[in-house]
Amino acid sequence: IAKTVPAKDRFKYQRVYPDGELYAPITGFYSYDRASSALESTYNSQLSGTDDALFVRRLIDLATNKTPKGASVQTTIVPKIQQAAATALGNQKGAVIALDPKTGAVLAMVTSPSFDPNDIASHDVEAAGKAYDRLAANPQQPLSNRAAREIYPPGSTFKLVTAAAALADGKTPDSVVDSPDRLRLPGTRVDLPNSTNCGGTKITLTQALKVSCNTAFANLGLDLGEDKLREQAQLFGFDRRHLADLRGVASQFPDELNDAQLALSAIGQFDVAASPLQMAMVSAAIANDGELMDPFVVSRVQAPDLKPIQTTKPAVLSTAMTPGNAQELQQMMSVVVSQGTGSN
């Protein structure tokens, strides 16, 4: 996804990106006067061969009059999945991220609009600088990694977190929840409406998730209280940074909520903010019977002689749910897709 080729100019070698836009959120760019970003930045010393781990290799190259070589970085991205994600997203503004639930490996990470790192890596330094300035000034923010470095209101996807907290609090998929057509937010004159027909004013937790019933989940949040909801969110990875290789940002669950704010937070509104990566982590932890794996995008770093310098081993971040509760939530999620609001 990035390589160096000989160049007939003062720099002698040119950084190129064969599928520039497709992998730009992962590779970032290497530039002579605009620094670097993403993996190009994080692994610059290994890629350039100046890292301490390559010291002996540099001495050998020096002694044998060979051109020093840098290490290679192998990502976890699966090209077919990456391409499928890009094709599905098309020209829509947004991001797609896919994780292996059992390991935390990032299988695909696509953002749109993207950019071509080749323009910034050009040896025509003036042209490269102008290309960077154009991209930085673009209101569509093509340089942004929307998957890991931007946070947004998660909306109804956050209902998975609220459902998990309800199951941890002793409720079952068949527990009945109040689901009025409109819910007066406590301490206000504002009503929270439903965007779908919830199927009655008292429905099961499974039905509430199946039809994404706002008032049911708002009532669940009020019943649980902010501490239990925040604790569950944090077990899923909220309020912590992930994917340090790409300088991922922390998703947020707000502090010191009044009841109206709590009701809105339970449906992913108010000041709840999450990256697409974070919401993929929520789903992955549920799929992995409650175990949340630490996401990673680099599987290994290899010296020029192919000896491994660094290998990433899957690591458990937390037990977000008990296996039994996770399996119940898996079934509830299946119903959302087969019968509810998650159908094609």
Which amino acids are annotated catalytic? 156
- Measure the CA–CA gap between 227 and 177, rounded to whole angstroms: 20
Assigned token pair, 12: 């002698």
- Note whether 181 and 193 are within 8 A (CB): yes
DSSP letters, 10-38, are: TT-EEEE-TTHHHHHHHH--B-SSS-B-H
Question: Contact at 8 Å (CB) between 161 and 285?
Answer: no
Amino acid residing at 10: R
- Torsion, Cα 286 288 294 298, to 10 degrees, reads -120
Q: Which residues of 157-178 are buried (b: 16+ CB within 10 A; e: fewer)?
A: bbbbbbbbbbbbeebebeeebe
Residue 291 CA to residue 311 CA, distance in Å, equals 22
